[in-house]
Amino acid sequence: MIRHARIKSLAKINLDLRVLAKRPDGFHDLRTVFQTISLTDTIDIEYEVSKKTIITLADDLAIPDNLIHRAAQAVMDAMKVHARVRFTLKKQIPMGAGLGGGSSNAASVLLALPVLAGRALPLQSLGEIGAQLGSDVPFFLTGGTAIALDRGTELYDLPDLAQEPVLLVSPAVHVASGPAYIALGRSLTFTSSSSSINSFQTFVRALASGRSARVACAFSANDFETVVFKQFPQLAKIADRLRNLGAAGASPFIRMTGSGSTIFALFSSAEDRALAKRMLDGDRVFRGCTIIEAKLVSRKGHHRMWRRQLREHLNPNEVLWPPRSRYAQ
């Protein structure tokens, strides 16, 4: 019997991102706030019990070291099961743009395969597997709004925010995170960590009390913007143009996500976003950019989406997280 599932894999933005000292293991200590958004990739999965594990990806897009394949192998090993698993990936999240598409794909595989296999893995185990695949993979196991510490794998849920409309501007620019970290110059003896942490805490308090990213934007920062905007002046021009939309009454929250290259703008209403998008038309700064409308997705919304897309494989009235399979013995 072949079991099928069609999975929506959400993108993310960083509402705030501080890079602290470099760690002895080569990573950096981070302070960031992750937020899932409604932009998705689509993954079709076919699962069939077999005597040996065979994992194939159709339409692989020539992605090197594909995280879907690695996640599938890791979770199959953890469950100690064998199957033929076939994935078909439809990409809509721009690659290398700071939106976490690859990590989200990996987390989606970690959540879906135990359900299709009739096995149960606790969230902690899935998080440990995810952390080995990428620093932001564990976040996508729960979604919503979350503080991430350490190298991005230590997560603390924040209250759900207003689902404010967002406009994503993704230029045809790939920002490699390695050189961006080097340009920041954060050494083992970085001395400004305490001020960065205090500033980050101010943003988090404003976010939690107002339940609105746009309202808290005055306290937000992304440390990568200072170096990435110098390396890629087009990104600075895009951010400036979007900020100028405030003169038309839109008052957007503008920030680069991750180490780039996507710039996002959060608005108070869909009407303000539509006005802003019309104002971008014909502006040569945005030529060659992919412009995408989306909205913030809460943790509750993320969980509802997952139960809906796996409903034929779940017990009725399923409430546990991660979702448990109706095939479990």
In this structure, are 170 and 213 located in the same domain?
A: yes
In this structure, are 56 and 108 located in the same domain?
A: yes
How is 240-286 classified by DSSP, letter by letter? Answer: HHHHHGGGGT---EEEE-TTSS-EEEE-SSHHHHHHHHHHHTT-GGG
Active-site residue, 136 included = yes
Look at residue 187 in the predicted model and tell me its pLDDT: 74
CATH number at residue 259: 3.30.70.890
**pLDDT tens-digit series, residues 282-298:** 899 999 999 999 999 99
Does position 221 have pLDDT exceeding 60, yes or no? yes
pLDDT over 90 for what percent of the chain?
80
Reference 249, options 230, 237, 267; nearest CA is 267
In this structure, are 107 and 201 located in the same domain?
A: no
Catalytic residue from among 16, 29, 41, 136? 136
In this structure, are 125 and 205 located in the same domain?
A: no
Reference 275, options 298, 252, 309; nearest CA is 252
In this structure, are 49 and 117 located in the same domain?
A: yes
Does position 318 have pLDDT exceeding 90, yes or no? no
Mean pLDDT, all residues of the chain: 93
Does position 223 have pLDDT exceeding 80, yes or no? yes
The total of other beta-carbon atoms located within 10 Å of residue 26's CB is 8
In this structure, are 130 and 185 located in the same domain?
A: no
Residue 167 exposure: Cα atoms within 13 Å on the Cβ side: 29
Look at residue 265 in the predicted model and tell me its pLDDT: 95
User: Are 14 and 257 contacting, i.e. CB atoms less than 8 angstroms apart?
Assistant: yes
Look at residue 259 in the predicted model and tell me its pLDDT: 95
pTM > 0.85: yes
In this structure, are 40 and 104 located in the same domain?
A: yes
Cβ density class 65-100: b for 16+ within 10 Å, e for less: ebbbbbbbebbbebbebebbbbbebebebbebbbbb
Q: How confident is the model at residue 82 (pLDDT cuts 50, 70, 90)?
A: very high
Instruction: Establish if 276 belongs to a structural domain.
Output: yes
Q: Per the structure, how many domains does the chain have?
A: 2
Look at residue 75 in the predicted model and tell me its pLDDT: 98
Instruction: Establish if 322 belongs to a structural domain.
Output: no
Look at residue 186 in the predicted model and tell me its pLDDT: 85
In this structure, are 99 and 205 located in the same domain?
A: no
DSSP label at 112?
Answer: H
In this structure, are 71 and 208 located in the same domain?
A: no
**pLDDT tens-digit series, residues 157-212:** 999 999 999 999 999 898 988 899 999 988 766 777 789 999 999 999 999 999 99
Look at residue 60 in the predicted model and tell me its pLDDT: 55
244 is in which domain, residue-wise? 165-295
Instruction: Establish if 318 belongs to a structural domain.
Output: no
Catalytic residue from among 8, 12, 22, 295? 12
In this structure, are 142 and 195 located in the same domain?
A: no
Q: How confident is the model at residue 251 (pLDDT cuts 50, 70, 90)?
A: low
Does position 328 have pLDDT exceeding 90, yes or no? no
Does position 98 have pLDDT exceeding 60, yes or no? yes
Helix spans in 65-100 (H):
67-79
Look at residue 156 in the predicted model and tell me its pLDDT: 97
State whether residue 294 is helix, strand or coil. strand
Does position 92 have pLDDT exceeding 90, yes or no? yes
Q: How confident is the model at residue 316 (pLDDT cuts 50, 70, 90)?
A: confident
CATH number at residue 60: 3.30.230.10
**pLDDT tens-digit series, residues 109-154:** 999 999 999 999 999 999 999 999 999 999 999 999 999 999 999 9
Active-site residue, 12 included = yes
In this structure, are 205 and 193 located in the same domain?
A: yes
